Structure 1
């Protein structure tokens, strides 16, 4: 076994369970212009299942991120994946009047999911009465990481109203932010400022909910002039209990989390994906007060200076 493979398997996980998935579950969403379509996945066995609401990256859908959603569901989580309005499956035109507030619709989608847990639970055979609504996490990749961050306390200045509102949700107890945006202002490229105005002036000062931030040290997005370090801002600029996993050699897809064999994966690395699966699982079990031993082991293993896959730090 190689050093990197051994490091990946050091994070012990429970045995996988069969998973039941239902899609699409349609939630009426007045004022959105489209009903919200959702995928729900959960293990076929077990009770008091903690919940992860996962927000996809720009253009993806409820069908994306199988490497994460499938793993989490097979190891004890109920995973809920809404399809946001920017999804290619929705097909909004660039001049659609909803576009400037796309970030706000995304936050509303997650809140609607949390408001309609009864309906989502009833849509999955055998899931009724098995959700633990006191243990809810928000997770997301790229644009979805910002969406999850808003639920944790990140504030976005609305490009239309000019206001920065508190849209955090007390039902969300922890978060996982994967390859997501950092500071705005002079850190943005002209392309980002022109096309993604909700990135211009975020504030992490009130993002107090515990979170794990995951960033690739080769994630050189066309959104920031700062390079890969931009995606570490949610860790360094936010208060409270936070952890940062920096993945060596990882680009924006972090080794392949957007899907199985998807074309946008430019840095395919199964060991890296396996590490993210295990680390996020262990982190959320600790942050949601389920058990702490797996996360403690992960912190010991990933804090080594010579670790081949990445570095984990916490504050």
Structure 2
């Protein structure tokens, strides 16, 4: 038996579909037993979507203010979540923050959402800023979820997340490997936003489109896919390499979606080429057509879990990262990020 810890995990993804919060209990008979007790996604207002979308264009002084204001916003969300669910005990809050810049090759990464403000508003211990230490140790600062895949989901051969970006985690020669595969919802949602839709529901619109083979070939030949892992992607890649390329073809929306969905399915299939069980999470798991194409291009068993785990897996794992940090255990793997050593990352702010 290990001592029980009650944690709140917070995740804001690049697709800007909202802030995920989970209240989870760790501990019990096995060291990493967990139970999600409460969960909720809080959608962003239009104002917050605009602020976060334009954050990478802001001056340092404006970013500093946004960091503080976003921390206040998250702190208030946590208090609402605690109140709504009548939560009595919170041992720690772990917040991923919202990524504005991610350029590990240039030695920096930035997730806004001041942990100091969250701690002040919630009167709780907060762990945040999980990526900076790893970048300082020569790593990619991403992905961070694989330690959770190792400790919580060991029965799967691959853990595939289809969010703003697709990322994968798996064991190779007794070492955990993980990396970003390609953009997913960050691109498809960008084009759906042009017709005032948040996303392509179940991939229905993409299914009516035609593949532009020349564009597909161009997308698949991007230099990123030639790189060996560890490697990771950020919005800058999409803005520079993907959107201008797609726009240069002047295709109908349905054909853009169909071509890009095929690109995603192809890139995922390159990675999960062996047989095995794949845990599929993230918003893209709801895209039936994307799942169908991945299934057709691979020989693996795709396992889509309960809606709660599908939607809240990343928030759950950030709660675990915070828990491990406070326990003094390693929560970041050099085999995944390319850092000089395994380490315990995150900044702790006492209440």
Same fold, TM-score > 0.5, yes or no: no
- TM-score band, normalised by shorter chain: 0.3 to 0.5
Query: Rg larger in 1 or in 2?
Result: 2
TM-score with structure 2 length normalisation? 0.31
- Larger relative contact order (C-alpha < 8 A, sep ≥ 6)? 2
Q: Higher helix proportion, which one?
A: 2
With normalisation by structure 1, the TM-score equals 0.33
